[in-house]
A and B are shown apart, each in its own frame.
Chain A
């Protein structure tokens, strides 16, 4: 008979060995090469190079600005859509269709989805045709190679995460609180503001931070929709590994992105957990 002590060790041996060999060790290799020279001596040079170069601050600023605006627009679009699905739609079959429509883009490659926007946002694309058709502009507007183009593509890719996070939070709210508030004579707007919103805030905030982290580390969408005009942080990493071949410097950039992402996800996890405990 296998004891309760050895059983987990036996069951976890293969998965943990695999994760150690192909996940932890590669990450450690990156971390080590970010603080060493070719000869193996310790150095902080790669990080000071990131910190002292104005260009990196510009790229970081662009990356964060795009991620921030993306997150804000995702919330503005995702919240009403989640509300609509959970609170307004009464016909189950239609809700099911909507959920499928929200999930299908999630399971389509970033490249395919960004390609769709390349077609739509081109000079003679449907978006420009539409804008000119309703008289908003008389010349085709330039979207590809601009931040607006990247924003449209990133919001498109990340909105489903907000809908699912907020939708889940809304669906699990006990309607009793809202009914109690209404019974006490509080109007619907105030009930929403003081009862419903605080109850789904943890879900919404952790969804927002998730979107922000994914937007900061996005590569494919900005690469395709920037048309080489705008550089974001993940492109710097890719350049170092694919064309410059400076693995030490690339490693320092990778560690920077990784730490930023993990901090954000950690915060999101905390907020999500405290929300679950409060509910």
Chain B
């Protein structure tokens, strides 16, 4: 009895999770010029409207470049940091690890405000650079958390063997360490890329009418009008997120809620 009740609540909860996403994708296909669900008639014309609007295209390019650059910088910074944290005991190790993970729990509104204020002081406010440094800070923890668990003690033995056999630190890194952590870099990098691409709270402080990201543009637009073009942009981001999650699942397996797995 209790079992059926729980299953019922769970299935209702799953429906609740899927409903808004399904509605957006459905509404983006409507032939009407206003938003309606279920859609009336089916068309892809709103996606066409989107790709012919230069402001959307430029926001799309900004978002993508920003996410790519932030992810690349985050990887370059996070990999040496995780090596230091995993391989060496040094004073303040715990504080360093807490500091590097802290953006995960920080209110993004506060960091965004801080970067606007600080950016005005050093002359980079409302520029791509100001957006980039903020995004690097918030996405770096994702790479760190994906790479760290792969630098386990067994892996360390291999590195020591390589060094004993006369390979230099650089050779050891590229031939022994990197192949082991490649999976973590890819999955952490994907999470970092998505988190950057979907951010509103941090970006909103440093964007302008001409330098805009897709989520911020949508946020400003939706407060005044809702129409099928917004549904079309949203649909693209939902489908992209779903694809990335499925790739991650195939890559590292997201079967995290199976029983008998001891952490």
List residues of chain A with CB under 8 Å of any chain B CB: 2, 4-5, 7-9, 11-12, 14-16, 18-19, 21-27, 29-30, 33, 77-78, 80-88, 92, 95-96, 98-105, 107-113, 115-120, 125-126, 156, 159-160, 164, 167-168, 170-172, 175, 188, 210, 213, 217, 219-220, 223-224, 234, 237-238, 241-242, 247, 250-251, 254, 257-258, 261-262, 265
Contact = CB atoms under 8 A, between A and B. Distances in A.
A217 B107 contact: yes
A131 to B, nearest CB: 14
Contacts of B209: none
Interface in B121-143: 121, 133-134, 136-137, 140
Contacts of A23: 103, 111, 137
A277 B200 CA distance: 37
Contacts of A29: 114, 117-118, 121
Q: Which of A21, A116, A241, A242 has the most CB of B within 10 A?
A: A116
Contact of B17 (A12, A102, A262): A102
Interface in B1-50: 2-3, 6-7, 9-11, 13-14, 16-21, 23-24, 27, 35, 37
21 contacts: A4-B88, A8-B88, A18-B133, A77-B13, A92-B258, A96-B254, A100-B245, A101-B17, A108-B237, A108-B241, A111-B219, A113-B21, A119-B37, A126-B23, A156-B20, A168-B257, A170-B257, A172-B263, A188-B2, A217-B109, A241-B117
A34 to B, nearest CB: 10
B72 interface: no
Q: Is the interface of A mostly helix, strand, loop or mixed?
A: helix
A15 B117 contact: no
B180 interface: no
A254 B78 contact: no
Given A18-B136, A22-B115, A219-B109, A109 B200 contact: yes
A85 B258 CA distance: 8
A102 to B, nearest CB: 6
A95 B10 contact: no
Contacts of A254: 109-110, 113-114
Nearest to B140: A15
A237 B222 contact: no
Nearest to A7: B88
Contact of B218 (A107, A115, A217, A258): A115
Contacts of A120: 19-20, 23, 37
A26 B245 contact: no
A26 B114 contact: yes
Contact of A80 (B6, B134, B223, B246): B6
Contacts of B37: 119-120, 125-126
B5 to A, nearest CB: 8
B261 interface: yes
A100 B134 contact: no
B13 A80 contact: yes
Nearest to B83: A11
B158 interface: no
A95 to B, nearest CB: 7
A109 B84 contact: no
Interface size class of B (residues with CB under 8 A): 35 or more
Contacts of A113: 20-21
B64 interface: no
Contacts of B201: 110, 219-220, 234
A60 B3 CA distance: 40
Contact of A111 (B116, B215, B263): B215
Contact of B245 (A15, A30, A103): A103
B110 A30 contact: yes
Contact of A168 (B24, B96, B263): B263
A80 B260 CA distance: 19
A112 B114 contact: no
B154 interface: no
Given A84-B7, A160-B17, A241-B205, 11 more contacts: A22-B134, A26-B117, A80-B13, A86-B258, A101-B17, A112-B238, A113-B20, A118-B226, A168-B256, A224-B222, A251-B113
A207 to B, nearest CB: 13
B249 interface: yes
B3 A88 contact: yes
B238 to A, nearest CB: 5
A96 B255 CA distance: 6
B234 A115 contact: yes
A116 B23 contact: yes
A85 B35 CA distance: 35
B174 interface: no
Interface in B88-118: 88, 90, 93, 96, 99-100, 103, 105-111, 113-118
Interface string B187-219: 000010011011111001100000000010011
Q: Which of A80, A102, A156, A258 has the most CB of B within 10 A?
A: A80
A104 B219 contact: no
